Structure 1
Amino acid sequence: MSPPADAPRATSSVELTTEQIGPLVDDAVVWANQHGLLVALKDPKFVNPEYAVIHAPLSLTPVPFPRERFELAQKVQPLFNSLVDAVAADEPYLEAVLRPAAQHDEFTARLLRVLSDTRGARAALRAAGSEVALGIHRSDYMLDAPSGKFLQVELNTIASSFGCLSALTTRLHGYLGLRMEGLDASSLPPNPSLEALPDALAAAAAASGHMGPGRGGVVVMVVQPGERNAYDQQWLQLQLWERHRLRTLRMTLADIARTARLDPGTGSTAVLAGGQPVACFYFRAGYTPNDYPSDAEWAGRELVERSNAAKCPTVAYQLAGTKKVQQDLARPGSLERFVPDPRDAALLREFFAGLWSLDPADVAADVGGAAGAVRQALEHPEAFVLKPQREGGGNNLYDEELRQRLREGGEGLSAFILMQRILPPTNQSVLVRNGQWQQSDTLSELGIYGTFVRHNDKVLVNQQAGHLVRTKTASSNEGGVAAGFAVLDSPFLVG
């Protein structure tokens, strides 16, 4: 999301000369390697490339953000956690909102089918008092220079990654701050995600009833084959063991379909080939159609949904985080259906960017100003983003591609939403990737993590759980670290 030519430049956290940068980069890379701020290298030149690692892409200095706005984003996260849970509970709403998109997006349609096919099993879980929902969410924002507000890019409800490496990045910047004149480490807010995320997983596992002496319950982390970001995930595994003596197994959806079963005695306990009951399924995969190359993976997903293990996320939680639901909640009156307190609803709406439906019927009726927004987007495509129902980065359309797709029209646009383009201020950053650095004008995106655990009708956990900053060159439209567009960063609070 490139800024306009006259966008204001944010205050730099620290000014560095070229002579200062080189030694600091050396320090940062060594610290990262010593403290597990790592990603897999995947270099075939190594004897065993699966075990070759390199420091995670990182920014040498933290990025300035206004303190008041940052703290407000932290404050509002429990409301977003509760909103996801409320939306997920209203399955007729999810089906009605997503039905037009599902007609043109097979992935969304298949997720809705899992929701429908497992409805009876999930109702039985609730009746037996065995429903455990776990949310590890991340609400992503960009600071909008014209308004001075954080505006929400998206709300992630599945595979919200980089929490552990983000906490390490905060520690790295605290360490480097001792070597940089003008960088006051006290302006780096605490980042508890390395502890808060595994604590929520452990609370959900305990609520499942499969933990404790003689029960042998385990956490299954659902992963992609050949995962490059395994070290962020494995920090969670380590913390689950060291803090809670809870064992974690890594499995793909195909592994689950092949080796797991529902215990015939209970009909709902997921049991692995070794006989261990699953206390919690935690998804770091399953958010893209590529994770379901065959019906076997869908069978694995359905088994998870039917089980009495805690699930992060349930398929309803995943659907509640789709772009189409995000857009619909921004309509007048829609959010208030799930947030009855008008003060809370008004606070949430402080973070909403402009969002419009592209369903032909909505555009024809100008629902929520959709027709006017489409006209503006055709005239000024640089002011908008076209988003499909996809996660993981690299899917959005901008500028001339956006205009061309809108001109093509057709029913297929129901699978997209139109969003206001957020215009963040630029910063000067030193980006370090693969041991090499470059100094660039950059844009940054803030993510606030939230954890939520509910056992039947009782909420056990609902809190903000740390943060993530991703920084990219100002010329880049995409912002994923794993996708190669951005680096890990930290917030430096000013004001």
Structure 2
Amino acid sequence: MLQDCNIRCAASGLSLSHARTNQLVDDAVVWANQHGLVVALKDPAFVNPELAVIHAPLALTPVPYPRTRFELAQQVMPLFNSLIDAVASDEAYLETVLRPAAQHDAFTARLLRVLCASRGRRAALRAAGREVVLGVHRSDYMLDQPSGTFLQVELNTIASSFGCLSALMTRLHAYMASRAGGLDASRLPANPALEHIPDALAAAAAASGHVEAGGVVVMVVQPGERNAYDQQWIQLQLWERHRLRTLRLTLADIAAGAVVDEASGTLRLGGEEGQPPVCVFYFRAGYTPSDYPSEVEWAARELIEASNAAKCPTVAYQLAGTKKVQQDLAAPGVLERFTTDPRDAALLREFFAGLWSLDPVDLAADGAAATAVADALQRPEAYVLKPQREGGGNNLYGEELRAALQAGGEQLSAFILMQRILPPVNKSVLVRNGRWQEAETLSELGIYGTFVRHGDEVILNKQSGHLVRTKTSSSNEGGVAAGFAVLDSPYLVD
């Protein structure tokens, strides 16, 4: 804890005494606990640790972002939704781009096997008018201080988390503006993720044709999930807004009790005709190898992919969100394969950071990639090395990056080299487990997008709210659930 001194709010220049900061932190924690801005405590001292909660890690006041850049990131999100759908629909492209990475990354290779194994069944569903795809995406950016633009960190197509808690963060910061003074709540942009995400699931459920038969939404989860309350806000909203029942099941649970009707593709849990069909599978797991500890979990994923339930994501959508695809889309001329309007391609490119392939064939043919690798060996602090992984904690920086590049070899085909984005440093008050600290921080903005397509008809395509994660400037990782960052909000400045 700091000694008596003034704490400054980055968004407004507001100066707070140590005592006043203590009061506001107490207010924020109480508000968070009262309004469901919480995560599971996992304290074994409780009779049922799963039901004990504590406030989510949070920033006391919001972080400034330029209004025009923020609104442009909102504007482009439906284009990213459409791009993912177009890329996922071109399975020959996915297989070609990901084949080198799959040779050295068993997880990517297995996802490609699921894609191939389910192709016949999915084609039959498409022909029968039963194909429903659902996207809940999040495009993550950092504000690059040298250029003054948002550059894309990654585009998440599976388990895009914290949408509901982020909507609550907006409400918390509006409350803090009324309590602290010096903050203008009208500069906090609307954050509809709490409504838009469940509404997208409900639209996909309706398109599946199973709602009238009592169809259920299955949320695919990890055992012992600490971020369950963000997920359960969706569950609550699905019931209160749409009267859709949600079941929380692991992949192992699904494998143990699910059967797909060969003729129709309808999946029922329990395998009995009297059981309700599944209308939507919504994955909040399945993005990391540890989610598939045995063949049982892979069998469940294949069963889901073969069903006529809407899936968020399909395996193709998940593969379309890989780092290797992100890198390839940034190459000259590739976006034009998936966009019909050159202006859309130009707008999307405004958000691309420098991205380079490390496949030996590409390095031999691409002088720009070879130049970037040579520069990264000299200045590793200006780059990041990314594998085909989600969930945080997987990237290589600094001397680890240099060592990996020096070792070389075909195994680097499973990585991409990316420009290091340099965001501005702010002063923030970070609150975790009821205690606070002032720190120099960096922030990352995520824009949510929702997308539903039934056959050739796009039912829904919109930007659906936002997330800000703030971390200490000394941290390379930025995950909230992983313990590196706190939830925050954007404060728009002109």
Per the TM superposition, whether the score is higher than 0.5 is yes
1:35-54, Cα deviation, whole Å (9 max, x unpaired): 00000011112222111110
- By how many angstroms is 1:276 displaced? 1.3
Partner of 2:3: none
- By how many angstroms is 1:208 displaced? 0.1
**Equivalent of 1:256 in 250, 254, 257:** 254
Q: Aligned partners of 2:13, 2:393: CA distance in 1, in Å?
A: 29
Partner of 1:268: 265
Q: Aligned partners of 1:394, 1:182: CA distance in 2, in Å?
A: 37
Kept in 2, the 8 Å contact 1:217–1:279? The answer is yes
- By how many angstroms is 1:179 displaced? 1.2
Q: Aligned partners of 1:259, 1:400: CA distance in 2, in Å?
A: 48
Kept in 2, the 8 Å contact 1:59–1:489? The answer is yes
- By how many angstroms is 1:13 displaced? 5.7
Kept in 1, the 8 Å contact 2:264–2:308? The answer is no
Q: Aligned partners of 1:345, 1:228: CA distance in 2, in Å?
A: 39
Instruction: Provide the TM-score with structure 2 as the length reference.
Output: 0.97
1:207 and 2:207 matched: yes
Partner of 1:224: 222
Q: Aligned partners of 2:15, 2:143: CA distance in 1, in Å?
A: 22
- By how many angstroms is 1:440 displaced? 0.3
Amino acid at match of 2:328: D
Amino acid at match of 1:466: G
Q: Aligned partners of 1:471, 1:183: CA distance in 2, in Å?
A: 19
Partner of 1:394: 393
1:252-308, Cα deviation, whole Å (9 max, x unpaired): 0111111011124x3400101171100000000000000000000000000110000
Partner of 1:418: 417
Amino acid at match of 1:222: V
Partner of 1:6: none
1:152-174, Cα deviation, whole Å (9 max, x unpaired): 00000000000000000000000
Which secondary structure state, in structure 2, belongs to the residue aligned with residue 69 of structure 1?
helix
Kept in 2, the 8 Å contact 1:447–1:467? The answer is yes
How well do the aligned residues superpose, as a CA RMSD in angstroms? Answer: 1.1
1:146 and 2:146 matched: yes
1:199-225, Cα deviation, whole Å (9 max, x unpaired): 00000000000012xx01000000000
1:53-93, Cα deviation, whole Å (9 max, x unpaired): 10000000000000000000000000000000000000000
Q: Aligned partners of 2:39, 2:296: CA distance in 1, in Å?
A: 29
Q: Aligned partners of 1:125, 1:200: CA distance in 2, in Å?
A: 21
**Equivalent of 2:237 in 239, 247, 250:** 239
Q: Aligned partners of 1:400, 1:15: CA distance in 2, in Å?
A: 39
Amino acid at match of 2:258: A
1:126-155, Cα deviation, whole Å (9 max, x unpaired): 000000000000000000000000000000
1:159 and 2:159 matched: yes
Which secondary structure state, in structure 2, belongs to the residue aligned with residue 482 of structure 1?
coil
Partner of 2:440: 441
Kept in 2, the 8 Å contact 1:139–1:449? The answer is yes
Which secondary structure state, in structure 2, belongs to the residue aligned with residue 16 of structure 1?
strand
Amino acid at match of 1:381: P
Kept in 1, the 8 Å contact 2:214–2:277? The answer is yes
Equivalences for residues 459-478 of structure 1 within 5 A:
459-478=458-477
Equivalences for residues 44-55 of structure 1 within 5 A:
44-55=44-55
1:35 and 2:35 matched: yes
Kept in 2, the 8 Å contact 1:10–1:425? The answer is no
- By how many angstroms is 1:16 displaced? 2.2
Q: Aligned partners of 2:454, 2:113: CA distance in 1, in Å?
A: 25
Q: Aligned partners of 1:408, 1:286: CA distance in 2, in Å?
A: 31
Amino acid at match of 1:270: L
- By how many angstroms is 1:182 displaced? 1.2
Partner of 2:175: 175
- By how many angstroms is 1:10 displaced? 6.9
Partner of 1:355: 355
Q: Aligned partners of 1:362, 1:379: CA distance in 2, in Å?
A: 21
Gap regions ≥5 residues in structure 2: 1-8
Q: Aligned partners of 1:331, 1:89: CA distance in 2, in Å?
A: 19
1:384 and 2:383 matched: yes
Equivalences for residues 277-426 of structure 1 within 5 A:
277-366=277-366, 369-426=368-425
For these two proteins, the number of residue pairs brought into alignment is 483
1:103-135, Cα deviation, whole Å (9 max, x unpaired): 000000000000000000000000000000000
Which secondary structure state, in structure 1, belongs to the residue aligned with residue 166 of structure 2?
helix
- By how many angstroms is 1:15 displaced? 3.1
Partner of 1:74: 74
Partner of 2:120: 120
Q: Aligned partners of 1:432, 1:10: CA distance in 2, in Å?
A: 15
Amino acid at match of 1:287: Y
1:302-339, Cα deviation, whole Å (9 max, x unpaired): 01100000000000000000000000000000111101
Kept in 1, the 8 Å contact 2:10–2:428? The answer is no
Amino acid at match of 1:114: V
Q: Aligned partners of 2:13, 2:265: CA distance in 1, in Å?
A: 53
Which secondary structure state, in structure 2, belongs to the residue aligned with residue 130 of structure 1?
coil
- Runs (4+) off by over 6 Å: none
Amino acid at match of 2:219: M
Which secondary structure state, in structure 1, belongs to the residue aligned with residue 439 of structure 2?
strand
Amino acid at match of 1:165: L
Instruction: Provide the TM-score with structure 1 as the length reference.
Output: 0.96
Partner of 1:14: 14
- By how many angstroms is 1:20 displaced? 1.4
Q: Aligned partners of 2:57, 2:13: CA distance in 1, in Å?
A: 19
Kept in 1, the 8 Å contact 2:12–2:182? The answer is no
Which secondary structure state, in structure 2, belongs to the residue aligned with residue 375 of structure 1?
helix
Amino acid at match of 1:20: R
Return 179-188 or 311-320, whichever deviates more.
179-188
Q: Aligned partners of 1:104, 1:37: CA distance in 2, in Å?
A: 40
Partner of 1:95: 95
Q: Aligned partners of 2:66, 2:167: CA distance in 1, in Å?
A: 20
Q: Aligned partners of 2:378, 2:17: CA distance in 1, in Å?
A: 43
Q: Aligned partners of 2:32, 2:325: CA distance in 1, in Å?
A: 38
Amino acid at match of 2:421: I
